[in-house]
């Protein structure tokens, strides 16, 4: 892929237009004498000013963004440079099979030559790849590998202390996230480690020749690991539009147990303020797209009197997965709820003749959100009933109510 950036003023001067490419994505078209050699039928828009152009964004919406953007706003376009030899689709349609030595086009199924620099499969007489003679593992560089003896001793240059510190912080992310077991936990952990790796490489680039003391990671490895994990949680909650059991106080409590305990030395405490400070630092480096709350935000309040309910609620939700339902506000739902006295409201009964049963709700489902509002530990069955009745009676509300339930995993 090759990127191209130009201003809106240049776009207007060259008589550019917003069009749809062959992949039904928003793209830019110029007259023939203004086109570059990389302009093609699969080029697409990536960004206009501060707005990201997604795959499914309609052209009318893109045109409105472009109209409202200032003349100095930058427009980013991506041009594919590798195409299928048969159907001429770009490499975004390819599935790379490094160990088989080829790429497959998902549009027509034709096998393409794999595009890897300085890499040979080392085929033997039978036409099979001899992996023992491969120069490197596909997808990795020399910075991702270490040569060790059978006893575990590292050959060659010893890893620097700041790199060993990064490995230690990566392990702390696993320890912090060990308290939760829901479907997206593994992807959130992987995203947290990626944030740490990118942040580490910004402080210590691959080609640095400086000493270890020239640049350092922030003090407190557990706090930095907690900040990476918390930023990933915020991004996940913003993307799926519902809250997870991983609140900041619980992350802080888990990170506090992961501090490096040294005999005869006082360890730095992991506090909410420090996690938020490090999260804002990651955001300044472009590693967090979600909004980081302030220390006095209402969403961070966690009173001791409700601690037992919060832990009981988290224990229930850890063994559940979320299900979304759309219930009409003009029809009778036919459900009855009750309070479990554990910070969760559960469906006590569900009539088989009404719309809730036909939609998919069942007895034993735990209520999590109603129209984007999280049903917290302060909700009772009567308070919930009043809220749902107000949604049904309000003519300004939509005809559909979005309900998110937490359902127990099947053993």
334-362: average pLDDT: 85
Q: Name the phi and psi angles at 6, rounded to 5.
A: -150, 165
Alpha-carbon separation of residue 131 from 15, 98, 113, 127, 135 (angstroms): 54, 11, 18, 12, 9
Q: Could you tell me the pTM of the whole model?
A: 0.50
- Is residue 332 over pLDDT 50? yes
Structure tokens at 209: 């020749």
| pLDDT band of 135, cuts 50, 70, 90 | low
Report which listed range, 31-45, 238-252, 384-398, is most confident: 31-45
- Is residue 290 over pLDDT 50? yes
Mean pLDDT of the chain: 81
Together in a domain, 292 and 334: no
CA–CA separation, 118 vs 31, rounded Å?
Answer: 39
217-241: average pLDDT: 89
Q: Where in the sequence is the domain holding 96, given as residue range(s)?
A: 91-133
Q: Name the phi and psi angles at 84, rounded to 5.
A: -70, 140
Which stretch of DSSP H or E encloses residue 161? Answer: helix 161-176
- CATH number of the domain at 13, please: 2.30.42
Together in a domain, 285 and 197: yes
- CATH number of the domain at 207, please: 1.10.472.10
Together in a domain, 95 and 127: yes
Number of domains making up the chain: 4
Together in a domain, 120 and 20: no
CA–CA separation, 167 vs 174, rounded Å?
Answer: 11
What are 49-58's contacts with CB under 8 Å, separation 24+? Answer: 49/73, 49/74, 49/75, 53/26, 55/23, 55/25, 57/26
With respect to residue 153, please indicate whether it lies within any of the assigned structural domains: no
Nearest Cα neighbor of 403 from 241, 279, 205, 286 is 241
Together in a domain, 183 and 294: yes
């Amino acid at each position: 892929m090759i990127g191209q950036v130009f201003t809106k003023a240049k776009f207007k001067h060259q008589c550019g237009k917003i069009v749809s490419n062959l992949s039904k994505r928003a793209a830019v078209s110029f007259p023939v004498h203004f086109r570059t050699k990389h302009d093609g039928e699969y080029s697409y828009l990536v960004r206009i000013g501060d707005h990201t152009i997604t795959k499914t964004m309609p052209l009318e919406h893109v045109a409105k963004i472009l109209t409202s953007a200032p003349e100095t706003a930058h427009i980013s376009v991506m041009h594919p440079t590798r195409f299928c030899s048969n159907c001429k689709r770009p490499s975004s349609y390819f599935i790379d099979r490094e160990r088989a030595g080829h790429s497959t086009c998902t549009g027509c199924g034709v096998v393409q030559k794999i595009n890897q620099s300085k890499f040979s499969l080392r085929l033997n007489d039978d036409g099979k790849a001899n992996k023992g003679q491969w120069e490197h593992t596909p997808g990795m560089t020399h910075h991702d590998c270490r040569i060790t003896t059978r006893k575990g001793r590292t050959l060659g240059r010893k890893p620097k202390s700041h790199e060993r510190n990064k490995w230690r912080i990566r392990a702390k992310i696993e320890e912090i996230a060990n308290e939760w077991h829901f479907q997206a936990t593994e992807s959130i952990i992987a995203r947290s480690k990626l944030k740490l790796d990118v942040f580490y490489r910004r402080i210590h680039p691959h080609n640095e020749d400086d000493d270890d003391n020239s640049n350092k990671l922030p003090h407190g490895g557990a706090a930095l690991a907690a900040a990476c994990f918390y930023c990933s949680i915020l991004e996940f909650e913003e993307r799926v539009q519902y809250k997870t059991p991983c609140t900041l106080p619980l992350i802080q409590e888990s990170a506090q147990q992961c501090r490096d305990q040294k005999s005869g030395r006082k360890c730095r405490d992991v506090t909410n303020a420090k996690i938020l400070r490090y999260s804002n630092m990651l955001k300044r480096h472009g590693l967090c797209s979600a909004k980081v709350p302030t220390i006095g935000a209402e969403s961070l309040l966690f009173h001791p009197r409700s601690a037992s309910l919060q832990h009981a609620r988290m224990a229930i939700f850890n063994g559940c997965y979320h299900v979304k339902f759309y219930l009409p506000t003009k029809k009778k739902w036919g459900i009855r709820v009750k309070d479990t006295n554990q910070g969760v409201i559960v469906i006590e009964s569900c009539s088989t003749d009404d719309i809730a049963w036909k939609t998919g709700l069942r007895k034993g489902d735990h209520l999590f959100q109603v129209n984007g509002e999280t049903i917290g530990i302060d909700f009772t069955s009567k308070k919930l009933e009043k809220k749902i009745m107000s949604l049904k009676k309000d003519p300004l509300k939509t005809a559909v109510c979005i309900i998110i339930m937490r359902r127990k995993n099947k053993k």
